[in-house]
Chain A
Amino acid sequence: MIESRELTKYYGDFPAIEDVTFTAEPGEVIGFLGPNGAGKTTTMRIITGFTPPTSGTAIVAGHDVQEEPLAARASIGYLPETVPLYTDMTVREYLHYMGGLRGMSGARIRSRVDDVFGLCRLEEYTDSLVSKLSKGYRQRVGIAQAILHEPPVLVLDEPTIGIDPRQVVETRQIIRGLGGDHTVILSTHILPEVSMVCDRVLIIHEGRIVVMDSAERLSARLGGVSRVVMDVRGPRAQIEETLAQVDGVVSVEISDAGGRQQFVVECAPGRDLRVDLARRVAEHGWGLVELRAVGLSLEEIFLRLTTEDEVSAA
């Protein structure tokens, strides 16, 4: 449904993306994950035909974005990063206008506008001026215009950014519900979001795809507990040594944040050592004040994946 072949885009001498190649099957939800400046937006702008690639091709629903731009664009619904809306229109007027631009008939626009009001829970705001909406509702209007013409392909650039947690959950449900009928590409910084919403994950780092995997396998690879923070009362050096001897522990560091004696225990990937660690502390009769698992930050994951990649490539 979407085929991207060796897409490369230079801004001057600077490569925003290089050799981005992937395919998306009909009905698949693909997540682009990457830190700021990775090239997610650039890739999406090429696929939607907003900006031409320096080299490479993108084919959407069988149409080359460069060769048959109108046919390719007609099969895409796009939510740009900064949801751009005409502030002087009401939500309804805006959707009617977008429908008109997509060449929908008047009758079809009317019935679809009512549908998307329901789907995106916009019923109460149909006749509000766009400029009066909150960020989260603007985001919904953005999604509403993207799905209005029932395109086979949806490109959503950070669809859940800037909206409150309850709306995030609803928005994810909407997107999840769209997969199946639509092929969806979405971008995000939020790791759990990809595993919740996407079938497949594409990790982009510095303009290149570093990992392409199914969401389950990726979370298995990164999953489980990999770092445990323990607040233990007792002899410092002895505790450190004992914890380091537990099977599966990679390293132990001590931090004295807030005047407390905290041990940061790095575990082997995919292993949950919390029970083992707690038992060992109890055996020695030390006071275990706190024990909690901490996830990896996105930056650490990229670091891990990119270095892991370099190791396996070497």
Chain B
Amino acid sequence: MLDQMADANPFLDPLRFERRAPPSAIVIFGANGDLTKRKLMPALYRLAYESRIPPAFAVIGNSRTNMSDDQFREKMHEALKEFLDDTPLEPALWESFARGLYYVAGDVSDPGFYQRLEAKLAAIQQARQTGGNVLFYLSTQPSYYQPIALGLGSAGLHKDTGWRRIVVEKPFGHDLESARELNRALHHVFTEQQIYRIDHYLGKETVQNILAFRFSNGIFEPLWNRRYISCVQITAAESIGVEGRGAYYQEAGALRDMIQNHLLQVMATIGMEPLPSFDADSVRDERAKFLRSIRVMKSDEVPLFAVPGQYGPARIGTEEVPGFRQEPGVDPRSRTDTYAALTLFVENWRWARVPFYVRTGKRLPKRITDIAIQFNTAPHSPFTRDDNDAGTRPNLLIIRIQPDEGISLRFLSKYPGSGMRLRPVSMDFNYGSSFGARSPSAYETLLLDAMIGDATLYTRQDMVEASWKVVQPILDAWSSQKSDLPCYPAGTWGPKESDEMLARQGHAWRVP
């Protein structure tokens, strides 16, 4: 038995224990930025609080600002005070966590910086026994991804006795070509197995629950195809505008910012084939296969199957809300899409001719992300139609990603009383009320996965390229258009052209 002890930890109890990270260090590039303060540091502290990272653990922050280790610790302490939810910031625990925080100032385009980083890593490895395992986390502007990867490679930091991995935040390129270029630069230094492309949507508990729902329940799979499903609607709506990110957002737009990455990954989770096993390769193979099956639009099809929009000024309640072009930092003639709706078809036997409607937008009536599976109506209703036409309403399966995470099945039921009046009713599963336990944040899940070496919820290069292939013709067509984008008043569900797009297929957007 002792021979085996060196390989696996014999003290583990998978029935009761949570997963834990191995001894390791995380180097965060862009540690002075918002993502580090709002998401990464709270997630790491929470993992430490739950004892899911070992004593042999360290975080090394980097940015150009000069700071000592202690100043960095103080800055992170302030960030935790502001952004830590659901978890007490206990002094003794913070003190223990803070001892593992370090900082190296430096410009990532300066080769000398990587020498200093190497020296710091060596010292930390000695002091904290991190075993040579390092996770490089790129939380910088995308333009720094290539110099950092190349800098790490030139200094030989991409390999050592322990494992070395790199986490890249979206966007993975600005278009198909730049995505390929970024990939070439990363692969120049790191192997695909070392690269973890993070899409925080895939780390959400409810997105993971789609897999559990589809592949551990026998009753839905027989219905999950073109014979029974009329259409699928995926909505990611935000009620806020660009909130001071106008300059960034007008370079991205809704299609790039949401659909190319998050929503196509969600769509793949809904539509992929059953998995042989729940491991990184199986899950990502199936997702990639699905993304490759999405029919790529020809340029003359774009106006029929894709609708951009831009929010205009409106009065919502008592509040005067500016239009996108009136937002600070936005070009008054900007043609950036703040709304995008697509009709996508999947070319395989399961989904042939079933439209997947995907929409996202800013300044819509409410913040919600959900997926509605609309089933075919009953082939014949023997009941007299009432005023609401309830007898012909289709069954809907609604998977709510946020807020109010859960699943609802809408079906028709007889209203009590004489006569046969039908009324839609909803059978609800609410994630929060069925499992009172706290759900880990997407970043807790994904950071732990990267440290453990589980890439199941990370995006692979072929998935990135397949999704860019889907959106590239649409981006090209929209950028070549001379006319203004359809405008929608802030606080509404998007331009009327979007409703017309669905009406052409005999469908209508549901109101979430």
**A and B are interacting partners:** no
